[in-house]
Structure 1
Amino acid sequence: MAMEYGHGYATGTGHRLPAGLRAPFEARSWREFGYVLLSLPLSVLLFTWTVTMVSLGAGLLVTFLGIPVLAAGLAGCRGFAALERARARALLGLDVPGPEPLRLRKPGAAAWMGAVLKNGASWRNALYALVQFPWAVFSFSTAVTFWTCGWGLLTYPLWFWTFPAYAGQDGIQLYGDAHHSVYLDNPFEISVTALVGLVFTLATPWLVRALTTVDGLLVRGLLGPSLLSARVVELESDRGVVVDTAAADLRRIERDLHDGAQARLVSLAMDLGLAKEKLKEDPQSAARMVEDAHGEVKTALQELRDLARGIHPAVLTDRGLDAALSAVASRCTVPVQVEVDLPSRPAPAIEGIAYFTVSELLQNISKHSRARTASVDVWRAEDRLMLQVIDDGVGGADAAGGSGLAGLAGRLDAVDGVLVVQSPPGGPTKVIAELPWRP
């Protein structure tokens, strides 16, 4: 079933009624209305607390009491902010992470107060209290007015009889003066009133949704982590990915040396030792052993060349991506067309990542795709290096966690790169990688 998303909630699109007709009865609409209703009393408390404590603390700054009062006021704003994030998560499905925690250089009340006052999130939370209060008044008044009028007018045919029975008039009065009065009392007017109520009822959930969208923007912008702190967290995560990748590469190189060239050289040394011992007794046998050892030397040299190429190929350093990718494509098990259109060479680090990205993608094509042909395109788009690898294989490639593509995506993300995989079952598979031109 197709899904559509809003505020974090997923709703199916396979309903018989269109969205406009079922919106007044959906749980999501009532949750959003409940959010607007709660906003007013909570915003009054938050606004009162913030204005009182900040103004009192600012006024007492001439004494030693000002800083503790101001710090307590901002700490209270942080507590209210946590409540607002929880309310947005529960009623709007809006998951906003909390800001960075306070960093205390040393224990103690003075250090805590200094951390609260210096923390930008504390002041953003106070700003939220000042901005959200007038918006909460407006959204509460608008939502309640439209909601009550809509349902009241829609159900007017069910309760209009109360006017002549208990109010002494024929119905809802539209106009009245000393000489003339207009009441909604005949069947036609009652039906029109119900139709107007239906329009209000159907429109109100979308109006409330628009109001809560603004609330969501306020919560994200003022109660979540700042752009700078989010960037710091992202860079710390990317640094961990880079460190883990480097460690994994070192382990791979060590394993390849130990299991490949090193083991072959040890065997070669033993064979040469045996040939030396037999040189006088059986020269012909010793010559055969030396010949075999010569073949082992060639194999070990080839393995070392392959290992060096895996670390950083000389052709990439000397001749750039065009030649290096052409060399990689020539070793692929399917014909690969390579097209490189670059006005100049990118940064060496980005060039190396681009080379290994294409190399791994072509290895995946050789091992898993069952493709007949493939193509590699490389070009520059403004300040980004673009890579595109396409094959006509069976498709089904998945960049989910645990796969080689997931590791490749993490490696690109560490340098602000992006990996997009389009691989429907049956193919074709298209992988697009985007890297910064300069790191």
Structure 2
Amino acid sequence: MGISPLPLTHLPHGVAPPPTGSLGTMSADLDPARTSGSAGAPEAPEAPRPPLRLAYGKETWKEIAFLLSNLFTALTGFVYAVVTVSVGVGLSVTVIGLPLLALGLGGARLIGRSERARARALLGVKVAEPSPPPRRHGFFGWLWASLKDPVAWRTQLYGLIRLPWGILTFTVSLVSLLVLWPVLPFLARGLAHGDRGMVRGLLSPSDELERRIAELESDRGVVVDTAAADLRRIERDLHDGAQARLVALAMGLGLAKEKLLEDPEAAAAMVDEAHGEVKLALQELRDLARGIHPAVLTDRGLSAALSSVSVRCTVPVKVNVDLAERPAEAIEGIAYFTVSELLQNVSKHARARSASVDVWRAGNRLLLQVRDDGAGGARFDGGTGLAGLAERLGAVDGVLVLDSPEGGPTTVTAELPWRSRPGA
């Protein structure tokens, strides 16, 4: 960026213009003798250069410490892996072989934990702890879970391959520290990268696998809780509905029997009343059976079953099922109850005038969409049962998507994995 000199007319009175080549015109002529304060003045001494950065920094010493400690940890891990695996496999023909191997694999997890801590402290490797082994009930459940623990087996493999690497890194680091210390920082950095790769490859959990395992364990809990809740609901419906009516029926028939000879007309009235109780009990049993698994779904499929559900809705419902074949029975049942519960929400909460149900297949997914023209504003935490429905769908790798702005309309889309029926 150039700086133009002031015009001669703007110079103060008595000040001569700068000579040609001076700093006033930013000329390339930058002779120190001419630009200094006065001719013949001594040159300023050259500023000292900054010292070179020391190669042996804090991180370098940490890497060297890790490499020097590799020999001890490699020997320990190698001996432990060889002894536990060989003894466990060698004695597997006896009753103590497999339990010893399972105990050895449990100890391998402790070795892996200490190695991850050492790598975090000295190499700065951010390695998360893997999930604990799944709990199993009983001795054989624990034995099977321990023997198929992938984290423990990877740690044993880590211990086996670490011995030659540990000897190499210890020898190179020690010799370089004593003889070739100028190049030791560069050697340490390269060898430490190899250790980082081993720790990440064998001792770090597989993020996707660990996440999937955690999801499956959570989904299994949801399935168990849902099954228990369904059993309690069936028990409650039987106790409060059909059972109560059958008790009343038995009492009514007993009174009618006593009145049969004394007052035949009163007995006939009691029998008529008991007949009505029988009809109501049968209807409640049909409703209960429909809540477990409707016969129309088994016999005629989703289209007919959803049409029968839509008739019970308080608003007109248009049903459109576009499926070339029927899905697996379990998926079909989940789809039926999902739409049934969503239509119940429409009747109870939506304040809608109409609704629609669409069912179709997209690739390997079954999609259900229930839409209403109600007031909107539905939320998963709004007490409408949508959160529980989403959990039940998640247990079978399904998804529930809610779109319900204030003022409506409300659209709920459920996505389920498509599984064809056997023999289809």
Report TM bin, short chain.
Answer: 0.5 to 0.7
- Find the counterpart in structure 1 of residue 131 from structure 2: 100
> What residue identity is the alignment partner of 2:358?
D
2:152 to 115, 118, 131: 118
- Find the counterpart in structure 1 of residue 284 from structure 2: 303
What's the CA shift for 1:222?
A: 7.1
What's the CA shift for 1:402?
A: 6.5
What's the CA shift for 1:262?
A: 0.7
CA distance in 1, matches of 2:274, 2:149: 70
- Find the counterpart in structure 2 of residue 148 from structure 1: none
Q: Which range moved further: 233-242 or 361-370?
A: 233-242
Structure 1 residues 98 and 81: CA distance shift in structure 2, 3 A:
farther
Q: Contact 1:334/1:373 (CA < 8 Å) preserved in 2?
A: yes
SS in 1 for 2:402: strand
| 1:371 partnered with 2:352 | yes
CA distance in 2, matches of 1:420, 1:401: 15
TM-score, length-normalised on structure 2? Answer: 0.60
Q: Contact 2:306/2:319 (CA < 8 Å) preserved in 1?
A: yes
SS in 1 for 2:214: helix
Q: Contact 2:130/2:151 (CA < 8 Å) preserved in 1?
A: no
| 1:79 partnered with 2:79 | no
TM-score, length-normalised on structure 1? Answer: 0.58
CA distance in 1, matches of 2:201, 2:248: 64
SS in 1 for 2:262: coil
Q: Contact 1:346/1:437 (CA < 8 Å) preserved in 2?
A: yes
Q: How does 1:257-336 map to 2 (within 5 A)?
A: 257-336=238-317
CA distance in 1, matches of 2:331, 2:304: 16
Sequence identity of aligned pairs in percent? 59
Q: Contact 1:392/1:427 (CA < 8 Å) preserved in 2?
A: yes
Name the Cα RMSD after superposition.
4.6
Q: How does 1:56-205 map to 2 (within 5 A)?
A: 74-80=112-118, 98-101=129-132, 118-120=152-154
CA distance in 1, matches of 2:218, 2:284: 35
CA distance in 2, matches of 1:436, 1:289: 54
Structure 1 residues 123 and 229: CA distance shift in structure 2, 3 A:
farther
Q: Contact 2:77/2:111 (CA < 8 Å) preserved in 1?
A: no
Q: Contact 1:389/1:432 (CA < 8 Å) preserved in 2?
A: yes
CA distance in 1, matches of 2:83, 2:70: 20
> What residue identity is the alignment partner of 1:436?
P
| 1:343 partnered with 2:324 | yes
Q: Contact 2:359/2:366 (CA < 8 Å) preserved in 1?
A: yes
> What residue identity is the alignment partner of 1:244?
D
Q: Contact 1:82/1:98 (CA < 8 Å) preserved in 2?
A: no
Q: Contact 2:113/2:129 (CA < 8 Å) preserved in 1?
A: no
- Find the counterpart in structure 2 of residue 192 from structure 1: none
> What residue identity is the alignment partner of 2:262?
E
- Find the counterpart in structure 1 of residue 212 from structure 2: 231
- Find the counterpart in structure 2 of residue 432 from structure 1: 413
- Find the counterpart in structure 1 of residue 63 from structure 2: 44
> How many residue pairs align between the two structures?
306
Structure 1 residues 221 and 432: CA distance shift in structure 2, 3 A:
farther
| 1:418 partnered with 2:399 | yes
CA distance in 2, matches of 1:406, 1:74: 39
Q: Contact 2:260/2:267 (CA < 8 Å) preserved in 1?
A: yes
SS in 1 for 2:261: coil
Q: Contact 2:154/2:202 (CA < 8 Å) preserved in 1?
A: no
1:357 to 338, 350, 353: 338
> What residue identity is the alignment partner of 1:245?
T
CA distance in 2, matches of 1:335, 1:344: 27
- Find the counterpart in structure 1 of residue 373 from structure 2: 392
> What residue identity is the alignment partner of 1:120?
R
What's the CA shift for 1:124?
A: 8.5
| Unpaired stretches in structure 2, ≥5 consecutive residues | 1-56, 87-103, 141-145, 167-184, 191-195
SS in 2 for 1:389: strand
| 1:241 partnered with 2:222 | yes
SS in 2 for 1:308: helix
| Unpaired stretches in structure 1, ≥5 consecutive residues | 1-37, 89-95, 107-111, 139-214
What's the CA shift for 1:78?
A: 2.0
What's the CA shift for 1:237?
A: 1.9
CA distance in 2, matches of 1:279, 1:39: 104
Structure 1 residues 286 and 229: CA distance shift in structure 2, 3 A:
same
